[in-house]
Structure 1
């Protein structure tokens, strides 16, 4: 009798556990769809189903080894646009599951998909997207969304998953000289200007070309190959025009979205308002698949660009950081005068960074509003401090260039593709005026920490948008339909700190680098600005405080929207809203979390 009671308890325990586990099926399990089932599904998407293979597999011994193809891949491997032509090509891979090797190399034998999806639907019609998400739900397999794969956090990856790829879902870019705003005219996003409707997986280079033809500015990304509809826009989205025209998410007027149940819906201030709120900055890949957006277009303007380079002549890192602190503390005033832009600095570059110097800062800033004289005067105070050390402790170089319109500015000073295929860890933090101005000693402490040691070769990036003095702040007051982290509205700078490694770096070293970024350097930035947060698209995928840091006070509202539109959690990506209900096992399988 005792045995029966124990057995019954154990049986019920196992039954309850299996019910609670609710794991997605993976290839090793009997529940994984059979080849016959995959083929039947392929017919529903008009033969657009792909069995994924690694980008560099032609360099490895085996049936797919091919010397000419390997040579071609080797030449282009670090090119973002090239990586994006592959369903599992990534700008920032998380780990080297099939690293690029010289053809015939025998010492490296591993080449697999790793955490990349096993199958891809190369969608060219919205119906393909609908079929893919519906089938993934019915088959109980993990489902991920990919536009260009330009993602630091691995949100379009997932072992044993079906991926929908919208890169080739391209049904036109339509210009509206005056958009039909009859439905929106009484809403918070009322707009009486021009617009572009982007139907499918276009990149910003595609849209910028159309905008230039019409003397327009679209507030898109700084990197040309970034997709318009995916993580960039849904995560907030910034670029060279952000200070004056707002975040990408704030420029969205309406959208079309495929939901987790396969239905296509409109999202706007008057249709599915909560979904509209969520996709405008509340994170990608979790509420639905955005397949179309209409965004604002602004009349083009002349742009004044300033390039500034500061380098240490003496090699005295402390003195360099003191001068850098002077510059950081000047940023709120520069933002108020209309300046914004991107900078980068390091105290130990592997190769010369500015001229022949390895300890240096360089930026390109832009001003869309002020005259050359007015804009230059805003720099007078900080330049005077730097000039006092020029030629002795510092090398300082500065120049101004006027461009006739935004297209000319972007072509000359932005639009640069960073190398693809690099491995690293990143953390980012919004620095508001309090963080920059309230306590110089705390600022200096943070700068010293994020500078790192010479051996670490740390890179720091300064993204200066001056939100309270530009359109990010204005939109925050007048656009309650935006789901972006409210900390965006008060930031002056988004500061990014990063360290990298190679495909040959051992796992223990990688773990130490990641911990240094998360808790050491990232921790120093949090200490400097404890109540802000950071831009989710350029941040630490292992941030333990990601709910607050990426979403701020909007998280609970966004979570309720997620529950409404995707109650079964068909859509999942790491650090996305609702992802805390799931965990990835050592096997790669996605299962419900039990904390």
Structure 2
């Protein structure tokens, strides 16, 4: 592809054409005469106090060429799989890792050139709101593709875009303000009132930052399960879940107000009485398409003890059918567990690449939390599942069950969820909500789906369980009481969000990659759809190639959200794949250029 051949040797002194003519049907790209001249980029940089960065791939110092540097390559090699390290670069990505400039040993002859590929060409490293406004105005006037980035922690690559200008808000940090009692101000007569504590997150902070502030005051907030996840970007705008979600709701439902830079450059407040339609859209209706969110105010709650269970199961016999039968027992116990206040995260596999539980590669594990039940009642909720596991323990299965009580949410999070995973490998995922009917109505249908999801030993498939039991927790309650929430209505009925994933290595060929992607999207993802045909999936943890992304990610809200998109961004200044309104545009296969579809 031509667009993958653009190297990182783009700098202000490059010989670019002086023409600033726009292209009506397509966004300008560096190879075209309409791309702004070097002098224009320099002038733009001066207007934003030197905040314009020329992007280069993270690993470029390891490649032969003018940017080669042994000490820098050694540093990058050491920390390459660290999320926070990746996020410190304007085009460093936790997921997916850059395929156009993979990490190589210093000075090694590579099969590919180190190129930006789909990463943006320039970045506005915003430290003031005015920088964001200027970036939006510049991209609009120059007819350049604009992308928005908070931390870059995005499975779908929505903050990437060939030949684009990126507005980066990581260093736009104006403080985390605590409100002992939320001042509703003009919201005093609003339908949705909040009388408790709150935090105003003024810029590109991560949940690690906010969790620290909350713990100082014996409070908890609904944030991401991974500390490095950004607070106000795609996580919140796509719905947002974490360990406290079952009892305190989705991240989007916890937003009390927000400040947004619109496509016309104006800064507005979105709340339950100001720009209510925009408030609806950014609270779960998808990121990167209505405006640039630069501030949110979120609810805070008194911290409390948390009772946790960890469960680890491994197959002693190697009998996959028997193991999957046990997994089905656990899945069918989820609704009752949710009724008793349990929720949490787990994963299982029948063919791990390395031992997963003890020395076994066929295993299941989870860490669940209970915020409201006394210990005896909480343990009793597991009796049905436990009795089935104990009957097989030592013969067919290895089973380990343990319980822990932590004095507050901060201690629970630190012990069970606050671990930073390595930056993502190359891979494909698909996810779907499983409601109570799909889990309980037909045991044989559930078993058939699990068998497909398990895959073969060579596929080394991983399955992830996110159990929130929405109808029996705050997600379901908020769905009835919060009309200004744009999250997929399927969230309100889900018991589990099931994610299936496969990975590949840096050296995997394109044909093999396509087979893996098709297997995840159509075979395994298709099995989930057959099991739960009327639900959908969580947009932030899914597959950007999903052909039915409008229904799966947005559900019945899509047309309403599209109307809001048209109102606030009629010229489509904002675009990202699978985001609302994105079907009016397509990326050209050969050039990487973003162009309007023929229908539009």
Q: TM-score under structure 2 normalisation?
A: 0.95
Q: For residue 527 of structure 2, what is the aligned residue in structure 1? A: 524
Map 1:162-561 → 2, pairs under 5 A: 162-561=165-564
Q: Which residues of structure 2 form unaligned runs of 5+?
A: 1-20
Shift of the alpha carbon at 1:20? Answer: 10
| Matches for 1:50-199 after TM superposition, within 5 Å | 50-93=53-96, 96-199=99-202
Once residues 221 and 500 of structure 2 are traced to their aligned partners in structure 1, the CA distance between those partners, rounded to angstroms, is: 28
Contact persistence 1:303–1:366 (CA under 8 A): yes
Q: Given the superposition, is the C-alpha separation of residues 88 and 20 from structure 1 closer, same or farther in structure 2, using an over 3 Å criterion?
A: closer
Instruction: Give, in whole Å, the separation in 2 of the partners of 1:554 and 1:519.
Output: 25
Partner residue in 1 for 2:16: none
CA contact (8 A) 1:255 1:266 kept: yes
Secondary structure at the aligned position of 2:537 is classed as: coil
Contact 2:249 2:474 in 1 (8 A): yes
Task: From 589, 593, 597, give the equivalent of 1:593.
Answer: 597
Q: Distance in 1 between matches of 2:195 and 2:110?
A: 63
- Kindly report structure 1 stretches of 4+ aligned residues shifted beyond 4 Å: 18-21
Instruction: Go from structure 1 to structure 2 and tell me whether the alpha carbon gap of 1:75 and 1:19 turns closer, same or farther (over 3 Å shift).
Output: closer
For the Cα contact (< 8 Å) 2:104–2:110, is it kept in 1? no
1:551 aligned counterpart, secondary structure = helix
CA distance in 1, matches of 2:92, 2:406: 36
Distance 1:241 1:183 in 2: 29
SS in 1 for 2:160: coil
1:415 shift after superposition: 1.1
Q: Is the 8 A contact 2:550 2:558 kept in 1?
A: yes
CA distance in 2, matches of 1:221, 1:20: 40
- 138 and 218 in structure 1: CA distance in 2 versus 1, 3 angstrom threshold: same
| Structure 1 vs Structure 2 CA RMSD | 1.1
Aligned 8 A contact 2:22 2:34 in 1: no
Does the 8 Å contact 2:587/2:594 carry over to 1? yes
Residue 61 of structure 1, CA deviation: 0.4
The aligned counterpart of 1:38 is 41
Matches within 5 A, 1:557-572: 557-572=560-575
Tell me the CA shift for residue 96 of structure 1: 1.1
SS in structure 2 at match of 1:454: coil
Deviation for aligned residue 1:185: 3.4
> 2:189 is paired with a residue of what secondary structure?
coil
CA distance in 2, matches of 1:368, 1:501: 38
Distance apart, 1:187 and its partner CA: 2.4
Q: Work out whether residues 95 and 503 of structure 1, in 8 Å CA contact, stay in contact via their aligned partners in 2.
A: no
Decide whether the 8 Å contact of 2:140 with 2:573 is kept in 1.
yes
